[in-house]
A and B are shown apart, each in its own frame.
Chain A
Amino acid sequence: MNVNLIQGLINGLLLGGIYMTIALGINLIYGVMRIVNYAHGEALMIGMYVAFWLFTLAGVNPYLAIPIVAAVLFMLGIILHKSVIEPVLDLPLSRQILIFIGLIHVFQNSAMILWSPNYMNIDVPMSRESIQIFSISIPIGRLLATIIALVSAFLLYYFLKNTKIGKFIVATSQDPEAASALGIDVRRIRTLTFGLSLALTGIAACVFLPLYFVYPYIGTSFNIIAFIIITLGGLGSYTGAIIGSIIVGMIESLVSLLYDSSIATAVAFIVFILILLFRPSGIMGQRE
């Protein structure tokens, strides 16, 4: 097998791992509340700034800052859910979209006022180097990001299947009314889910910081890719988010390797539209 191809596959896997951290968070929210968090990328941006300032002011390595950033974003999630998200859950899609566009404006412009529109990055030791195995190179930052993504995906899965609150969350996503009838406090579970999802985003923010520049509009590009991934995999599906991330990551990496990197994302989106033709609710999605 061609070395180049193996390199492409590995890159695709690593990229997919990066996308997975965001996609899983949005899907968790959709599963429980049937609402797409259009402002998820903005939460990621806030998380990246928190990690950035922790590093710049206190010298905390972003990988070690994961618990702090996750806790901060968990709190942000709870506040956001209570103040903005909870009242809009039953509104029609168009009103939800207006509110989320407003939320995106609020986040982006607050970040701009507080931290200026400049691109900022940090230099974490090791994260920009690569491991060489035969003639394949694996960037350490991306490898760590993928490992941490997989670990958090596994922990989330374990949490949902084996703990009481996790089971409550699953029950609520399957049937909120039945769950409520069985004595589950659905409102509390939803708040908790939102916080948990943003905490996952906080983990993503920490592993992204050594890899990407942070600026107020960074959320938008991740938002779009994450929306495509979760729709491709099936909104609300845990497995779907993972499959979708890998597919999009692989396509992007292989197209840029074999053909042209400037249309790699476009090709992934075309594949997304083609998949919708055959599976209108995504690969793992269920008809509502």
Chain B
Amino acid sequence: MTTLKADVVKHLAENKNLLYIPIVVLFFIPLLQLPIYVTHVFILTFLFAYLCTAWSLISGYTGQVSLGHSCFYGIGAYTTTLLFHFYNLTPWIGGTIGIVFSVIFAFILGYVCFRFRVSGPYFTFATLAFAQILEMLFISQSQITGGELGIEMPYTGSPLDFQFTSKIPYYYIILMLWVGALFLSRHIQRSKFGYYLFAVREDEGAAEACGINTTKYKIFALILSAALTSFGGVFHSQYYLYVTPKAVYGLDLAFQISSTSLVGGSGIWFGPSLGSFLINPVVEGIRATIGGTFFGVPLLIYGILMILIGRFLPGGVSGIIQRGLATRDMEMSKKVGSQ
């Protein structure tokens, strides 16, 4: 069994193009005319794969765990919705402004935290506080934001307003966003920038002693991650046409992003996506079939799985593949050595 697994892993790794096949297949799935609900599950899975990939740029690569990533998501969603609602500004521009806001916000958060050496749990709680502050402010300013009940996006159904009558265009938009983020993440992992980030994660003091400006790279990773997350929020506002502070700023979302990424494994580019593909279809499937009968049971099992994965699988599920690759590299170097 283990040799079979190792063989598959080896095969996949040696024929790198094989990894692209699933992605290409995903591009053709809408041709199958699947039911709307199934398309929705795909969209949700891509959205989370995208958000988790973005989250891992800061929290997986540099090890600075953020539990407040929903604040960037919410800024994207609310900026778009409010600008369209009050000024009739197309979400394509409104969304861009939202991303700019997120970047500014991420810069402030990153500068405040990293410049003053807020790290570890202190950073985690600072991000948590930021997301909570925004959620509470948006709930309290109800004359503008609609308070706890949220605000609706006026529906025009025009592509000029980032709105479509069917789910298929949304499917392709989020699929392409995710694939883009995935390749960006892979590129970063193999670049000098990525090595700097890993150095920060492994030993920040040593990285600094090597002359790496750790503050600068951490801030940069956070900004990148925030910009991507924020575009996810813009997508949310256009896909659901409805935003509430709890849905976009809430802790549930932040926790879901981090737990999904960590189940998949946040230290490698494809890990977070793997997590989303493993979890979201199953969760949605259970919700659609037996969700009403055994209230709470699926999430209880999921919780137990999270504990077991955290405990026994370093690097999440993708850690298994990573270790397979490491074994292969070692064997290959042995071969080269013996020749």
Which A residues contact B (CB, under 8 angstroms)?
36, 84, 87-88, 91-99, 101-106, 108-110, 112-113, 117, 220, 224, 227-228, 231, 235, 260, 262-263, 265-266, 269-270, 272-273, 276-277, 280-282, 288
B46: shortest Cβ distance to chain A, in Å?
22
Is B126 within 8 A of A273, CB to CB?
yes
Does B240 belong to the interface (CB within 8 Å)?
Answer: no
Given that A94-B65, A94-B266 are known contacts, is A227 also in contact with B125, CB under 8 Å in the complex? yes
| 8 Å CB contact of A98 from B117, B259, B300, B304 | B259
Is B263 within 8 A of A98, CB to CB?
yes
Is B295 within 8 A of A112, CB to CB?
yes
Is B303 within 8 A of A109, CB to CB?
yes
Does B124 belong to the interface (CB within 8 Å)?
Answer: yes
Q: Which residues of B contact A220 (CB under 8 A)?
A: 251
Taken residue by residue from 313 to 339, chain B's Cβ proximity to chain A (1 for < 8 Å, 0 otherwise) reads as 010100000000000000000000000
Q: How would you classify the secondary structure of chain A's contact residues: helix, strand, loop or mixed? A: helix
Is A99 within 8 A of B311, CB to CB?
yes
Q: Which residues of A contact B300 (CB under 8 A)?
A: 105-106, 109-110, 113
Question: Top 3 nearest A-B pairs by Cβ distance?
Answer: A105-B303, A102-B306, A262-B140
Q: Which residue of B lies closest to A111 (CB)?
A: B296
List 28 A-B residue pairs with CB atoms under 8 Å apart, sorted by A's residue number: A87-B311, A88-B310, A93-B121, A94-B63, A97-B262, A98-B262, A98-B316, A99-B311, A101-B255, A101-B259, A102-B302, A102-B305, A102-B307, A105-B300, A106-B300, A109-B296, A113-B296, A227-B125, A228-B125, A231-B125, A231-B126, A235-B121, A266-B132, A269-B129, A269-B133, A276-B126, A277-B112, A281-B122
Given that A103-B303, A109-B296, A260-B140 are known contacts, is A96 also in contact with B133, CB under 8 Å in the complex? no
Does B128 belong to the interface (CB within 8 Å)?
Answer: yes
| 8 Å CB contact of A109 from B126, B266, B297, B310 | B297
A90: shortest Cβ distance to chain B, in Å?
12
Q: Which residues of A contact B60 (CB under 8 A)?
A: 94
Q: Which residue of B lies closest to A217 (CB)?
A: B252
B121: shortest Cβ distance to chain A, in Å?
5
